[in-house]
Amino acid sequence: MGHIPLYAVAATQAIAKGDVAELKNLHAQAEKHLQEYGDVATVLQLLKVEIAKAEAGKP
Amino acid sequence: MDTSASAPPPAVRQEAPVRFRRMEDHHNLVPVHVVWEITLACNLKCQHCGSRAGRPRADELTTAEALDLVDQLAALGTREMTLIGGEAYLRRDWIDIVRRCRDHGMRTAIQTGARNLTDARLDQAVAAGLQGLGVSIDGLPDLHDRVRGVPGSYDQAIGALRRAKARGLDVSVNTQIGPETPAHLPVLMDRIIAAGATHWQIQLTVAMGNAVDNPNLLLQPYQLIDVMPLLARLYQEGVERGLLMIVGNNIGYFGPYERMWRGYGDESMHWTGCAAGQTTIGIEADGTIKGCPSLATSLYSAGHVRDMTVEDIWRHTERISFGRLRSVDEMWGYCRTCYYADACRAGCTWTSESLLGRRGNNPYCHHRVLDLAKHGLRERVVKVKEAPPESFAIGEFALITEAIPGVADAPSLPPRDPAQVHIHPRERAAGGGTTPPKLEVCRGCDQYIWPHEETCPHCGSDVAAEAARHAEDTARRRALIEQAKRFLAGMRQEAPAAE
């Protein structure tokens, strides 16, 4: 980065970097997706159960 | 509205910020970032103001001189301009200066106390191309208004953040740390996030100008032992809430948090010494040029734009080039024998020289405070000489080393040999500059070490073995990151089609 003079405006183009920041960013994206669309694994399990129930009820 | 609960970390930006230094900037001595006091006129009465701002200087640059100065800086390669005061917008032609900077493609922002920063002023600035606005806020209302000398100034500062954000400006806050400030920081962070700030620059109040008159506003060096962990906690919280803490030049050095915040997570970035006069220029309103805006005028005035070109001052004057030429030999006290001496060069020149009257020894250092504490010692400063009434004037403080009250039987500080300090070889490029030293991180203790070390001088671990272990961890994390990216990218593509 270099010099951060003390009377200057903050370096507003700077962003958090590194693996931890990236992991947290991805974690936030995944949480957002979960909130908007739900959990694929849970939906998958429910689908399986409903398929099994529907097929079990066949004559 | 408090957006703290849902705000994600800032998105990944592909291009490096213009203020980031490239190798060729160091080699060719490019003044990448200029901080320009365009007027000393000010409508606040800050008790810690180093420049003793209030009335304009008697001979501030004319509009023609100011615009010519911008042209000269652009020719030297300046990429970013911070306009300060006093209060920058009290200069009548400040919009013309903003526009000229933008005409040259410079990233342009102002740092302000924001008193009477009206909508009309903001609208004019945005129309001229202003990109960023930093507001100085030193605590919650009671502390801020008292330190800034004007009741209601806190409310105006917070209001300015919101209004600037609404106009699309990049919005940041600068906070000076004195003895009363730390207790305010957690709540202040909540409030500036709510007001729209994305970046928060933290710095210690420095013993210059009005701050010498009010030494009660200066943190004692030993207090860093409590302040630094607080800052580290707030840094991490801020990253998760969309606020990036920027630690200023006098927050340091090489303590346990250096690798976390100096490069915002990029551990290859660490403190490399005061860069005054190497990639930074400071300008006073009368055209005086210095290597950094904060340095004492009496000691570091390198020339005047009415007498010489900026390029001649920048390339050929002794007072601006001190940082390019000095070595550990000018250092003294604890810093002279420190493990990091030749990488650190005693931190911020302004902070240490303003305090002790001589650069090269800086008690405001976390590494030093921790080391002294291990040996039952601490340092504090006491004013022994007032500062004269001039702008950027310094007084003098005595540095007192004493036993930490209540600590007994600590091992005494071992003798340290200046000859054992590692000297980094610096080759001067054809353009006159040098490459800063590059330290590595010991993965046994996460402290920076010189690259030649085989055994860590801090924790005694096998540097190569710890590096190999860390490489495995890194590879695993990177694989997970790539997997998560693919997964999320796939979901983004699938989600709209499913609706």
Give the pLDDT mean for B454-480. Answer: 95
Number of domains in chain B: 1
B457 within a domain of the structure (yes/no): no
B401 within a domain of the structure (yes/no): no
Give the per-residue pLDDT at B3: 37
B115 within a domain of the structure (yes/no): yes
Which one of B38, B111, B201, B280 would you mutate to disrupt binding with A, by most A Cβ within 10 Å of its Cβ? B201
Contact criterion met (CB < 8 Å) for B206 and A6: yes
B377 CB-side CA count, 13 A: 16
Range of the domain at B170: 23-316
Residue B2 clears pLDDT 70, i.e. is over it = no
Give the per-residue pLDDT at B492: 76
DSSP state letters, chain A: -----TTSPP-TT----HHHHHHHHHHHHHHHHHHHH--HHHHHHHHHHHHHHHHHT--
Domain ranges of chain A: 8-56
State pLDDT tens for residues B40-69. 999 999 999 999 999 999 999 999 999 999
Contact criterion met (CB < 8 Å) for A10 and B246: yes
- Residue identified by tokens 């000393």 is B40
Contact of B12 with A25, CB cutoff 8 Å: yes
State pLDDT tens for residues B238-286. 998 999 999 999 999 999 999 999 999 999 999 999 989 989 999 999 9
Residue B4 clears pLDDT 80, i.e. is over it = no
Per-residue model confidence as pLDDT tens for chain A (59 residues):
567 888 899 999 998 888 888 888 899 899 988 888 888 888 899 999 989 988 887 65
Q: Is the ipTM of this complex over 0.85?
A: no
Contact status of B349 with chain A (Cβ, < 8 Å): no
- Worst-scoring range by mean pLDDT, B116-130, B156-170, B346-360, B421-435? B421-435
Contact of B281 with B37, CB cutoff 8 Å: no
Residue B6 structure tokens: 């849902």
Contact criterion met (CB < 8 Å) for A2 and B478: no
Give the pLDDT mean for B24-32. Answer: 92
Give the per-residue pLDDT at B87: 98
Contact status of B282 with chain A (Cβ, < 8 Å): yes
Contact of B43 with B160, CB cutoff 8 Å: no
Q: Least CA distance to A12: which residue of chain B?
A: B199
State pLDDT tens for residues B93-126. 999 999 999 999 999 999 999 999 999 999 999 9
Q: Given pLDDT bands bounded at 50, 70 and 90, which one contains residue B5?
A: very low
Give the per-residue pLDDT at B242: 92
Residue B8 with chain A: CB contacts under 8 Å: 25, 28-29, 32
State pLDDT tens for residues B191-249. 999 999 999 999 999 999 999 999 999 999 999 999 999 999 999 999 989 999 999 99
Helix (H, G, I), strand (E, B), or coil: what is residue B41?
strand
CATH number assigned to the domain comprising residue B86: 3.20.20.70
Contact criterion met (CB < 8 Å) for A6 and B203: yes
B279 within a domain of the structure (yes/no): yes
Contact status of B111 with chain A (Cβ, < 8 Å): yes
Contact status of B21 with chain A (Cβ, < 8 Å): yes
Share of chain B above pLDDT 70, in %: 96
The set of residues, in sequence order, having a beta carbon less than 8 Å from that of B284 and lying 6+ positions away, is B37, B40, B57, B290, B293, B297, B391, B392
Q: Given pLDDT bands bounded at 50, 70 and 90, which one contains residue B435?
A: confident
Give the per-residue pLDDT at B322: 85
Give the pLDDT mean for B401-429. Answer: 91
Give the per-residue pLDDT at B185: 98
| pTM of this structure | 0.91
Give the per-residue pLDDT at B497: 52
**B17 vs B464 pLDDT, higher one:** B464
Q: Given pLDDT bands bounded at 50, 70 and 90, which one contains residue B175?
A: very high
Contact criterion met (CB < 8 Å) for A6 and B350: yes
Q: How close is the nearest chain B Cα to the Cα of A50, in Å?
A: 20
Residue B37 with chain A: CB contacts under 8 Å: 7
Q: How close is the nearest chain A Cα to the Cα of B134, in Å?
A: 5
Of B234, B237, B262, which Cα lies nearest the Cα of B247? B262
Q: Least CA distance to A16: which residue of chain B?
A: B264
B414 within a domain of the structure (yes/no): no
Contact criterion met (CB < 8 Å) for B263 and A2: no
Sign of CA dihedral B345, B346, B348, B352: negative
Give the per-residue pLDDT at B445: 95
Mean per-residue pLDDT of chain B: 93
B202 within a domain of the structure (yes/no): yes
